[in-house]
Amino acid sequence: MNNMKKILPGHGSGGKLMNDMISGMIKEILGKDSIQIDDSAVLDVNSGKIAFTTDSYTVTPIFFPGGDIGKLAVNGTVNDLAVMGAVPKYLSCSLILEEGFDFDSFEKILISMKESAEAAGVKIVTGDTKVVPNGKGDKIYINTSGIGVFEKEVQRRNIQKGDKIIVSGTLGDHGITIMSLRNDLRFSSDLKSDCAPLNGMIRTVTGKYPGSIKFMRDATRGGLASVLNEITAGRDFSAGIIEDSVPVSEEVKGICSLLGLDPLYVANEGKVVIIAAPEDADGIVEVLKQNEYGKKSAIIGEIDSLYPGKVYIETFIGGKRLLPLMIEEQLPRIC
């Protein structure tokens, strides 16, 4: 598509090279009819309330089984909107490219972003491109911001004792995939990132159980344990999970056991944590299981008063272990 093989400083200069790249490659791939080349995109948002989010993505390696940094950027922002109960509509895309980054890889990432946006039903409408000198970046960084509209209410309600804790599938897939690639620990060809758009699945379950869901969060950096700690911090209830009930793939279990990692703290990029009223929890799980991204959904615990403000796990042997917030990440730069 483009005869240039490497990113040059001029591709971020605002001059001809940059404009040719935007109009001839970025806009061509991401959407000639959606990207608006102006100081701002003008959008039609017919809603009294919107959700707005932003996130930056820096991952090594940039290509991995199950996705790449472009797919990660689109789905991560889509999911951040969806867990609030919003319908994702528009994304921005800001690119920081390192001088010398090859155009073939750049094109693959743009195509991946386009395909991911189409799968999620969103449009990439505006963006920015900068180039940093060779050695001052790591090939490519992406920032995406997103706007979603509310067809119903925000999915945040008072959490009560007895509410059930649900996850939409196996934990730790993304983080362990990235870590295994860096350390050449590919024990199984089945190990891959769970990077996926969750908005369709979430919209279905909130439509069928509009008043039963108290809280949703996609368990990215810090994993399940960090999400639950955010929920319980300073509250008069605790979150208890049952180890036997937590879905973790055998590949992830094996690598975590080998390296002394805890999958409850490992990042996911296609899993949602839901706190729901107990009377509808089983029904919610059944709805999730009907979606391709929720086939291994499970109720893994509940809200109680055993250790107010804390998170704990009931282990295989019947003991209880607290799960505090970690001071640092187990696995750096996984999203």
Answer whether 0.85 is exceeded by the pTM.
Answer: yes
Q: What is the percentage of the chain residues whose pLDDT exceeds 90?
A: 72
Q: Answer yes or no: are the C-beta atoms of 241 and 313 closer than 8 Å.
A: yes
The residue-averaged pLDDT of 169-191 equals 85
pLDDT greater at residue 321 or residue 154: 321
- What is the C-alpha separation between 30 and 177, in angstroms, rounded? 27
The residue-averaged pLDDT of 67-84 equals 97
Element (H, E) at 51: strand 50-57
What are the backbone angles phi and psi of residue 186, rounded to the nearest 5°?
Answer: -80, 85
Residue by residue, DSSP assigns 133-144 as: -TTSS-SEEEEE
pLDDT at 259: 83
pLDDT category, 64, cuts 50, 70, 90?
Answer: very high
Q: What is the percentage of the chain residues whose pLDDT exceeds 70?
A: 93
Q: Answer yes or no: are the C-beta atoms of 311 and 323 closer than 8 Å.
A: yes
Query: Does residue 249 surpass a pLDDT of 60?
Result: yes
Residue by residue, DSSP assigns 117-175 as: HHHHT-EEEEEEEEEE-TTSS-SEEEEEEEEEE-SS--S-----TT-EEEESS-SSHHH
Mean pLDDT of the chain: 91
The residue-averaged pLDDT of 167-184 equals 92
pLDDT category, 326, cuts 50, 70, 90?
Answer: confident
* Model pLDDT for residues 254-276, shown as the tens digit of each residue: 889 888 889 999 999 999 999 99
pLDDT at 47: 64
Report the DSSP beta bridge partners of residue 39: none
Half-sphere exposure of residue 163: CA atoms within 13 angstroms, side-chain side: 25
- What is the C-alpha separation between 11 and 193, in angstroms, rounded? 31
The residue-averaged pLDDT of 147-167 equals 93
* Model pLDDT for residues 82-94, shown as the tens digit of each residue: 999 999 999 999 9
pLDDT category, 159, cuts 50, 70, 90?
Answer: very high
Decide the pairing of beta strands 238-242 and 311-314.
Answer: parallel
Lowest mean pLDDT among 16-30, 138-152, 255-269, 271-285: 16-30
Lowest mean pLDDT among 66-70, 108-112, 253-257: 253-257
pLDDT at 330: 61
pLDDT at 1: 46
Report the DSSP beta bridge partners of residue 164: 276, 302
pLDDT at 119: 97
**Packing angle of the helix pair 69-82, 199-208 (nearest 10 deg):** 20
Query: Does residue 120 surpass a pLDDT of 80?
Result: yes
Residue 178 neighbours by CB distance under 10 Å: 25
pLDDT at 36: 72
The residue-averaged pLDDT of 12-25 equals 80
The sign one gets for the Cα dihedral 45, 46, 52, 54 is negative
pLDDT greater at residue 259 or residue 293: 293
- What is the C-alpha separation between 200 and 195, in angstroms, rounded? 14
